[in-house]
Structure 1
Amino acid sequence: MKEKKTNRKSYIGKIIIIFLILIAVGSYFFIPSIKNGVNVIFDMFSTGDFTVVKKFVESYGAYAVFVSFLLMIFQSIAAPLPAFLITFANANLFGWWQGAILSWTSSMVGAALCFLIARVLGRDVVERLTSKKGLKQIDTFFEKYGRKSILIARLLPFISFDIVSYAAGLTSMSFKGFIIATGLGQLPATIIYSYVGGMLTGGAQKLVTGLLILFALSVLVVLIKQIYNEKQKKARENEK
């Protein structure tokens, strides 16, 4: 009886999520104002300049906090847009600790939605929302680091944590475990990025952005090297 109820809830959940996705996609293609708005957001993220994001959010006046919240959720679902640009913008616009709270809570909601979408709709849909290659890379990452991969990914501004959130939903990891790991993993990074973002102006912005890119690339090289060495080790063991 319980199994039937669980299957029914899962089926209803799939219908609701698919329906919402169809509405979102349909709105983009058939409502010009929405299409233009989404294109503006993608163009804004492609600049890599947090001041552009700041001006966009600031332009909504009293609704700026709400717009920033929705923007973070949008970038979560539309992976792999860079969330750190929003974190910097929030800190620069609202103050570092207020911005940190806003960025942390909104990214938590975004991560939770990615996890639930993957858990309900499965891998085929997630591959369409993200990329098959990207998911395979995260699968390898998960095999190597397990739950620690969530903590590591959140600390790196140029790794798409959104894809990690989707991938986590495809595993046997519990929602509670995922939320706890996500919250703990993103908190220090959010505080640091918010504190730095609150002070960024002019040349300092380019310097810090460059340092973050260098840091992210350095860590990525180390992680990729570790994963490669582990694969080589397994291959040698299998040959024996």
Structure 2
Amino acid sequence: MEDRLIYYFQEYEHFAIFISIGISIIVAVLGVIPSFFVTAANLIFFGFWMGTFISFVGEALGAIIAFYLYRKGLKKFSQKPLDKYPKLKQLVHLKGKEAFYLILSLRLLPFVPSGLVTFAGAIGSVSFITFAIASSIGKIPALLIEAYSVYQITQFEWQGKMILSIVAIYLIFVVWKKRKQPTSA
């Protein structure tokens, strides 16, 4: 997918930054598509630091715009998507400093889906400004880790990518087996 994005960056070079930021916003609003392919394309096309900065701007703006849209349109929906994440459910009822620190900490955790953090904040009581600042600050370390990881993977030759794929498949299999095992009370 990042190959297609790089193609568009090359084809419309003068608009590449805007294309990247626009796609990041769309990814954030949809809330279910991982953003690493945009980060990878940015790193390959713009270089590590500029690509990381553009990814940050796109993800921060995407979260802010998604928050606004979710707040306007999704506040009436159920809180069911949050049932699997107790901290996210807690965010719905927090305001001020407590909401700020929880959003910040949730953005730092790579296994908490970004779209759900935005959704929980939007249907909750947190202010727009508090969300925007906490979310953006929290994205900085997470995005640096993502950018570094993605950059390292893009530098792999096919052998490294094959090894990484085998390890990933094995880890998925182990997690799947663990989840299938009945838990003892």
Please give the TM-score of this superposition, normalised by the length of structure 1: 0.55
Q: Which residue of 88, 100, 105 maps to 1:151?
A: 105
Counterpart position of 1:114: 66
Q: CA offset at residue 184 of structure 1?
A: 1.9
Question: What is residue 102 of structure 1 aligned with on the other side?
Answer: 54
Aligned mate of 1:71, from 6, 12, 23: 23
8 Å contact from structure 1 (residues 151, 186) kept in 2:
no
Counterpart in the other structure of 2:147: 194
1:150–1:58: structure 2 CA closer, same or farther, 3 Å change rule? farther
Question: Once the 2 structures are TM-superposed, how far is the Cα of residue 95 of structure 1 from its aligned partner?
Answer: 0.8
- Matching of residue 59 in structure 1 with residue 47 in structure 2: no
Equivalence for 1:38: none
Distance 1:60 1:67, change over 3 A: same
Q: State yes or no: 1:92 paired with 2:39.
A: no
Compute the displacement of 1:133 (Å): 4.6
Where does residue 117 of structure 2 map in the other structure? 164
* Cα offset, 1:84, TM superposition: 1.7
Give the root-mean-square deviation of aligned CA atoms: 3.5
Q: Does structure 2 retain, via aligned residues, the 8 Å contact 1:69–1:102?
A: yes
Number of paired residues? 163
Q: Which amino acid aligns with 2:81?
A: G
Per the TM alignment, residue 207 of structure 1 is displaced from its structure 2 partner at its CA by 5.7
Please report how far the alpha carbon of residue 58 of structure 1 lies from its aligned counterpart in structure 2 after TM superposition. Answer: 3.4
Which structure shows the higher helix fraction?
1
Q: Is the 8 A contact 2:103 2:138 kept in 1?
A: no
Tell me the CA shift for residue 181 of structure 1.
1.6
Which consecutive unaligned segments of at least 5 residues does structure 1 have?
A: 1-43, 45-49, 222-240
Structure-1 separation of matches of 2:24 and 2:162: 22
